[in-house]
Amino acid sequence: MAWGNRSVLTNIALLAYPSSPGLRFLFFLAVSLVYTFIISGNVLIVVSIRTEARLHTPMYCFLGSLSGVEICYTAVVVPHILASTLQSGRTISLLGCAAQMVFFIGLGSADCFLLVAMAYDRYVAICHPLQYPVIVTSALCMRLVVASVVIGLLLSLQLAAFIFSLPFCRSRGIEHFFCDVPPVMRLVCADSHIHEHSVLTAATLAIAVPFFLIAASYACIVATVLKIRSAAGRRRAFSTCSSHLTVVLLQYGCCAFVYLRPNSSYRPKQDQFISLVYTLGTPLLNPLIYTLRNSEMKGAIGRLLSRNCLSQNLQDRGGYHLSGVSSVPAT
C-alpha cells in the first residue's frame, strides 16, 4: 500500500461515541459488563472442553475453536472501544485502522467458515453415521480449523489492502466505533460503484458462499431425519443441530445485513447499533446457546466450577490450619 502519499489522511476520528460524560460512563459500563461475560463464557467453554476427556470429540473441538476465535475477535475491537470511550480525542492512525480491519474481518470470516465445518460435522454424523469415525478425524478437525482462520485472514488482508489503496477524501471522521468496511468506504473519493462491486465480491465469498454450503448440508440433514421412523430419534437428531442452526442465523443474519448491500444504503445510526450486535451480542449469545441447550456442556462446566471451588476451599482451609499451627507458642 502506498502509505507515503497519505499525508492528507493520517488519523481517522471515531465520531459515534456519546458526547455527554454521563452517557460515556454508562456506555463504558455496559460494554465492560458484556465483554466480561463474553470472555468468561467463552473461556469456560474452552477450558471445559480441554479438561473433560469425554468432550474430546470433533463436535466439541469445533465448538472450542469457535469460542477461541470469538475471544480473539472481540479482543481486536472491544478494548479499543473501551479506551476510546474514556479519551477526549477518539482517533485511530491509518495503519492502526487497517490492522484493526484485517483482524476484525479476518476473524469474523473465520467464524463463518468454522460454522460451515460444524455443519459438515453434523451432516456426516446424521447422514453417514457408520462412516463418521473414519471421515471426521482429529486431524481433519485441526486442518479445517487452521484453514478457516488462514483463509479468513487472507481474504481480509486482500480486502483491507484494496480499500486502503484507494484515494480518501479530506474528511477524516467516520460515524462508527471502530474501523469497519462500510464506514471506511464512505471516505473513498474515487468512483464508488466499481469499488463497491469489489467489496461485495469479497463479502460474498466470506458470507454468502459459506451460508449456501450450510443450507445445503441442512437440507440433506432434514431429508435424512424425516426418514427416521422413531419420533424420539427425530427429536434427538434435530436437538443436536438446533443450537448450531440458531448461531448460524444470528451470525449470518447480521453479517449479511451489514456487508451484502450497496454503500448508498448505509445509515450511520442504524449501522452503529447493528455493529454492536454482531461485535458484542453474537459472541455473548453463542456460549449461552451452546451451554443452555447442551447437557454435556452444562455438566462439564458445572464440574469445572465445582473442582475450582473445592480446590479454593482446600487452599483456604490449608492456609488457615497452617496459620493456626504457626501461632502456637513453642514449649
Q: What is the pLDDT of residue 202?
A: 76
Residue 331 located in a structural domain: no
Residue 279 located in a structural domain: yes
Amino acid at 269: K
Q: Which domain holds residue 259?
A: 11-291
3-state secondary structure (DSSP) of residue 227: coil
Q: Which residue has the higher pLDDT, 233 or 203?
A: 203
Residue 298 located in a structural domain: no
94, 106, 138, 167, 216 from 2: Cα distances, Å: 12, 22, 43, 10, 42
pLDDT tens digits along 159-201? 899 888 888 876 678 888 999 888 888 888 766 666 677 777 7
3-state secondary structure (DSSP) of residue 92: strand
Give the residue carrying C-alpha cell 482451609.
Answer: 317
Give the residue carrying C-alpha cell 469479497.
Answer: 202
Give the residue carrying C-alpha cell 467464524.
Answer: 111
DSSP strand E in 60-216: where? 91-93, 173-174
Once rounded to an integer, what is the mean pLDDT over residues 216-242? Answer: 81
Non-local (6+) Cβ contacts of 199 within 8 A are 159, 162, 163, 181, 185, 259, 263
Residue 316 located in a structural domain: no
Residue 211 located in a structural domain: yes
Once rounded to an integer, what is the mean pLDDT over residues 71-97? Answer: 90
Choose the weakest-confidence range: 121-135, 151-165, 235-249, 304-318. Answer: 304-318
pTM, two decimal places: 0.84
Q: Report the CATH number that the domain containing residue 180 is assigned in CATH.
A: 1.20.1070.10
d(CA 13, CA 171): 9
pLDDT tens digits along 290-321? 776 677 777 777 787 777 776 666 666 665 45
Residue 228 located in a structural domain: yes
Q: Are strands 11-14 and 91-93 parallel, antiparallel or unpaired?
A: antiparallel
Spatial CA neighbour of 263 closest among 170, 179, 177, 198: 198
Once rounded to an integer, what is the mean pLDDT over residues 274-289? Answer: 85
Instruction: Copy the grid coordinates of residue 301.
Output: 462446566
Report the number of distinct structural domains present in the chain. 1
- Helix (H) / strand (E) element for 73: namely helix 58-86
Residue 147 located in a structural domain: yes
